[in-house]
Structure 1
Amino acid sequence: MKTISIRRIAPLMLLLAPIVLSSSDSADTDADIAYLKEKYANVDDVRPTPVPGLYELQFGYRIAYVDATGQFGFLGSGDLQNVSNGENLTESRRADMRRELLAGLDDWDTLDFLPDRTEHELLVFTDVDCGYCRRLHQQMAEYHELGIGVRYVAFPRSGPDTDSWTTMQSIWCSGDRNAALTVAKAGGFVPERQCDSVSVERHFELGREIGLSGTPALLTPGGELIPGYVPPIRLAAILNEETVSE
Structure 2
Amino acid sequence: MSLSRVLSGAALSLAASVVLAADPDQAIRAALTKLQPDMPIEAIAESPMTGLFQVHLKGGRMLYSSADGQFLIQGNLYQVKGGDAVNLTRQAESKGIAKLISDIPLSEMVVFSPKEPAKAHITVFTDTDCGYCQKLHSEVPELNRLGVEVRYVAYPRQGVGSHGYNGLVSVWCAKDRQDAMNKAKSRQELPPGNCENPVAKQYELGQMIGVNGTPAIVLGNGELIPGYQPAPQLAEIALKAK
* Alpha-carbon distance in structure 2 between the residues aligned to 1:108 and 1:51: 41
**Cα distance per residue 1:167-203 (max 9 Å; x no partner):** 1112212222221111111111101122222x11111
Question: 1:104 aligned to 2:103?
Answer: yes
Amino acid of the structure 2 residue aligned with 1:132: Y
Amino acid of the structure 1 residue aligned with 2:47: T
| 1:213-232 equivalences in 2 (<5 Å) | 213-232=212-231
* Alpha-carbon distance in structure 2 between the residues aligned to 1:240 and 1:173: 31
Amino acid of the structure 1 residue aligned with 2:64: Y
* Alpha-carbon distance in structure 1 between the residues aligned to 2:225 and 2:101: 15
Amino acid of the structure 2 residue aligned with 1:80: L
Question: 1:79 aligned to 2:66?
Answer: no
The equivalent residue for 1:188 is 188
The equivalent residue for 1:45 is 43
The equivalent residue for 1:65 is 64
* Alpha-carbon distance in structure 1 between the residues aligned to 2:218 and 2:107: 14
Unaligned runs of 5+ in 1: 1-24
**Aligned-residue offset at 1:39:** 5.2
TM-score w.r.t. the length of structure 1 is: 0.79
**Aligned-residue offset at 1:36:** 3.4
1:102–1:221 contact (8 Å) kept in structure 2: no
The equivalent residue for 1:202 is 201
1:26–1:68 contact (8 Å) kept in structure 2: no
**Cα distance per residue 1:52-110 (max 9 Å; x no partner):** 221111221221111111121214xx222225642222111111112212332326711
Which of 40, 53, 56 is matched with 2:54 structurally? 56
* Alpha-carbon distance in structure 2 between the residues aligned to 1:37 and 1:187: 48
* Alpha-carbon distance in structure 2 between the residues aligned to 1:56 and 1:207: 22
2:21–2:27 contact (8 Å) kept in structure 1: no
2:129–2:185 contact (8 Å) kept in structure 1: yes
2:120–2:148 contact (8 Å) kept in structure 1: yes
Sequence identity of aligned pairs in percent? Answer: 34
* Alpha-carbon distance in structure 2 between the residues aligned to 1:213 and 1:161: 18
Report which stretch shifted further, 233-242 or 186-195.
233-242
The equivalent residue for 1:119 is 119
Question: 1:212 aligned to 2:211?
Answer: yes
SS at 1:137's partner residue? helix
Bigger-Rg structure (1/2): 1
* Alpha-carbon distance in structure 1 between the residues aligned to 2:225 and 2:160: 24
**Cα distance per residue 1:203-222 (max 9 Å; x no partner):** 11111111112111111112
**Cα distance per residue 1:147-176 (max 9 Å; x no partner):** 111000011111122111111112212222
**Aligned-residue offset at 1:116:** 2.2
The equivalent residue for 1:153 is 153
**Aligned-residue offset at 1:239:** 2.5
Unaligned runs of 5+ in 2: 1-19, 34-39
**Aligned-residue offset at 1:128:** 0.3
* Alpha-carbon distance in structure 2 between the residues aligned to 1:108 and 1:72: 44
Cα RMSD of the aligned pairs, angstroms, is 2.2
1:121–1:151 contact (8 Å) kept in structure 2: yes
The equivalent residue for 1:234 is 233
SS at 2:149's partner residue? strand
TM-score w.r.t. the length of structure 2 is: 0.80
The equivalent residue for 1:93 is 92
Report which stretch shifted further, 219-228 or 98-107.
98-107
